[in-house]
Amino acid sequence: MRNGALPRELDLRGLAAREASISGVATLATLERLVSAGVGLLEPASAAFAFRRDEEGRYVVEAHVKAEVVLECQRCLGEMTQLLETRTVMACVWNDDDAAALPPSYEPLIVQETANLSDIVEEELLLAIPASPMHAGDCVTEAQRAALGVGAERIESEGRKESPFAVLAKLKS
């Protein structure tokens, strides 16, 4: 068991053979694709990995990743925070053919001789980000409220316009 920064360049198969577990944190400096996606972190992402072999001899990695991220709300375009937490069971494979042969209970993890745990953390976080993040409640800013208030007053001063369906009501009678 290890705490602190996640280690780089690990032999996942060797860890699985020893049934090891590792936990640690990944900072934004090590998660470059997350930064390029416009995502920030309030604090480093925490991750716990358990390595083992299953009954078929596959090398299995169980990952639990947790991070509070800063995203852009798609409704008000302001910053928002959201807790992302994933639990994934992956099997180490070496190519796409091996990945296709996996049972549905495993996610494929294509690895070479060594793997970087921060890359796995980053991939899990990218997959957990909602497609359209939005604040849970009303997220209209004061400037937007003021703009909407001015618009509402102007509409009320112009009076109510006749509904386009009023013509149909006249035809019906």
Query: Does residue 5 form part of some domain?
Result: no
Query: Does residue 2 form part of some domain?
Result: no
Query: Does residue 107 form part of some domain?
Result: yes
**Reported pTM:** 0.75
* The predicted structure's pLDDT at residue 58: 92
With contact defined as beta carbons under 8 Å apart, do 130 and 72 qualify?
A: no
Query: Does residue 7 form part of some domain?
Result: no
Question: 35 is in which domain, residue-wise?
Answer: 12-172
Query: Does residue 43 form part of some domain?
Result: yes
Q: Which long-range contacts (CB under 8 A, 24 or more apart) does 98-103 make?
A: 102/58
Query: Does residue 6 form part of some domain?
Result: no
How many structural domains comprise the chain?
1
- pLDDT tens series, the chain, 173 aa: 446 888 888 999 899 999 999 999 999 988 999 989 889 999 999 999 999 999 999 999 999 999 999 999 988 888 999 999 999 999 999 899 999 999 999 999 998 888 899 999 999 999 999 998 988 877 766 776 777 775 545 445 555 667 777 778 778 77
169's CB contacts (< 8 A; 6+ apart) are: none
Distance CA 16, CA 168 (A): 73
Query: Does residue 158 form part of some domain?
Result: yes
With contact defined as beta carbons under 8 Å apart, do 39 and 129 qualify?
A: yes
